[in-house]
Homo-oligomer: A and B are copies of this chain.
Amino acid sequence: MLSLHQLTCFIAAYEHRSLTRAAEDLGYAQPSVSEQIRNLEKSLGVPLFRRVGRGVVPTTAADTFRPHAEKVLAAADEAQRAVTSIKSLETGTIRFGMFGVARLYGGAGLVADVLERYPGVRVELVGRHSMDVQENLRRGRLEAAMIAVAGLSSEGMSITPIARDELVYLSADPERLKSPVTPKRLAEAKLVMPESTYRESDSARIVLRRMLHEAGYNPVTRIEVEDVETAVELVGMGLVDSVTNKGVALQLLPRLAPGAGWVPLRPRVYDTMAIVHRAGATLSPAAKLMIELATQRIQAIIEPV
């Protein structure tokens, strides 16, 4: 069986034209190098050196083998270097889970932060939705993530809340923005809600549903759309109202629905953002970095907890 160690010994012996000096060079005893060379010759089926009185002389087989051996060792060296550099975040890929609208909370800025500190890395922000991310976490495809945690099954997971995002009522009708929206009004409103794919497990919807239930109402949604942007645009057209995270409202209303505004709910309702990873896992430096930066970003935009 070919081994890197044999190649190292071979190269040293080839260069020194002496097993004794090769052994000195490598810090071994001479018989050890001798044995490695012998094993190498056996595994290749070709003699590599002619043992000749004083020293050894490479055969033509050794001549042709040498550049290949050096290439193998160089590649091995490079492989190690590549990995140890990833350890210090000089290169490699940082993969971090985030819910979909996190981009509105500075996802791009987060990537910029990472690239500023570690220009060599690749960054992947994974996940279209918190549920999506949660699934990836559970399967181990993601090491850590920042997601909205309402409705999240916490078993086996370490959940660290870092911020809370208030849910607010969006409308293009100034009349409906004069006072906080009660459950009664909410239940009667024509609403557009985003994240239609995840309607049952969407974190914002869960807390909203909970709030309505406590007041004795059932949520009724007129329109389901996939994108928050689409929902906000619809609000801007005055066709429907919506409920969404305050952070989202602040970001999108001016751009997509200039005439519309928002008002709190009564009682106020909050969605919780948290750092989540498998319980008991030791986090990689990359994950720790992302957690730190994402936390900073989020807490700068929405209300810390």
Contacts from A to B (Cβ < 8 Å) = 1-5, 7, 44-47, 50-53, 56-57, 59-61, 63-65, 68-69, 71-72, 75-76, 78-80, 82-84, 86-87, 91-95, 139-141, 143, 278, 281-282, 284, 286
Q: Which residues of chain B come closer than 8 Å to A61, judged between CB atoms?
A: 83, 86-87, 92, 284
**Residues A57 and B2 in contact, CB atoms below 8 Å apart:** no
Nearest chain B CB to A272's CB is how many angstroms away?
25
Copy tally for this chain in the complex stands at 2
Q: How far is the CA of A243 from the CA of B94 in the complex (A)?
A: 83
Q: Residue of B at shortest CB range from A40?
A: B83
Q: Which residues of chain B come closer than 8 Å to A69, judged between CB atoms?
A: 79
Q: Which residues of chain B come closer than 8 Å to A51, judged between CB atoms?
A: 140
**Residues A72 and B68 in contact, CB atoms below 8 Å apart:** no
**Residues B60 and A95 in contact, CB atoms below 8 Å apart:** yes
Nearest chain B CB to A14's CB is how many angstroms away?
13
Q: Which residues of chain B come closer than 8 Å to A86, judged between CB atoms?
A: 46, 60-61, 64
Q: How far is the CA of A190 from the CA of B95 in the complex (A)?
A: 92
**Residues A139 and B57 in contact, CB atoms below 8 Å apart:** yes
Contact of A63 among B4, B78, B87, B93 (CB under 8 A): B93
Nearest chain B CB to A296's CB is how many angstroms away?
22
Nearest chain B CB to A194's CB is how many angstroms away?
31
**Residues B143 and A59 in contact, CB atoms below 8 Å apart:** yes
**Residues A94 and B3 in contact, CB atoms below 8 Å apart:** no
Q: Residue of B at shortest CB range from A282?
A: B47
A-B contacts, 15 of them at CB < 8 A, read: A2-B79, A44-B84, A46-B83, A50-B140, A50-B143, A51-B140, A52-B278, A57-B141, A60-B286, A61-B83, A61-B87, A65-B79, A65-B83, A71-B75, A72-B76
**Residues B45 and A68 in contact, CB atoms below 8 Å apart:** no
Q: Which residues of chain B come closer than 8 Å to A3, judged between CB atoms?
A: 3-5
Contact of A72 among B45, B60, B79, B94 (CB under 8 A): B79
Nearest chain B CB to A206's CB is how many angstroms away?
26
Q: Which of A4, A79, A87, A95 has the most CB of B within 10 A?
A: A79
Q: Which of A1, A80, A141, A278 has the most CB of B within 10 A?
A: A80
